[in-house]
Amino acid sequence: DTAVSQTPKYLVTQMGNDKSIKCEQNLGHDTMYWYKQDSKKFLKIMFSYNNKELIINETVPNRFSPKSPDKAHLNLHINSLELGDSAVYFCASSPGTAGTEAFFGQGTRLTVV
């Protein structure tokens, strides 16, 4: 009964490959997010979706393409992976009202070699 679940937990891949990370929430929230945590633990928002509509795109390279088939799912597809993409990617959800807290998944540690 995990609230926000993302798969896989670990992902090791070679440069140039394309990979996807999946996220699902069962909280009934309207808004979902992708955050990136770099090697220094700094967390920065990448995208947010509200009811399947893109709301925030924080100047992320267009190799990153989020897809929301329904409001309970937000997947992240990454094309042509680069070494600098290595990070922990967190999915989160919230009720969608400005300023409400976000509920985070366990994270996906992506390592590009």
Partner 1 sequence: AQSVTQPDIHITVSEGASLELRCNYSYGATPYLFWYVQSPGQGLQLLLKYFSGDTLVQGIKGFEAEFKRSQSSFNLRKPSVHWSDAAEYFCAVGTHNTDKLIFGTGTRLQVFP
Of 25, 31, 68, 75, the one binding partner 1 by CB under 8 A:
31
Q: Is 52 helix (H, G, I), strand (E, B) or coil?
A: coil
Q: How far is CA 22 from CA 40, 46, 79, 98, 99, in A?
A: 24, 15, 15, 25, 25
Q: Is 45 in the site for partner 1 (CB under 8 A)?
A: yes
Stretch that binds partner 1, among 16-24, 38-46, 64-72, 73-81 (CB under 8 A): 38-46
CA angle 104-40-78, nearest 5°?
Answer: 60
Of these, 17, 51, 79, 100, which contacts partner 1 (CB under 8 A)? Answer: 100
CB 12 within 8 A of CB 113: yes
Question: Between residue 60 and residue 89, which ones bind partner 1 under the rule CB under 8 A?
Answer: none
The tokens for 29 are 């929230």
Among the candidate windows 15-23, 54-62, 65-73, 79-87, which touches partner 1 by CB under 8 A?
A: 54-62
Q: Residue 63 contacts by C-beta under 8 Å, 6 or more apart in sequence?
A: 78, 79, 80, 81, 82
Of the residues 24, 68, 105, 112, which one makes contact with partner 1 according to CB under 8 A: 105
The residue ranges that bind partner 1 (CB under 8 A) are: 4, 31, 33, 40-45, 48, 50, 55-56, 58, 90, 92, 94, 96-107
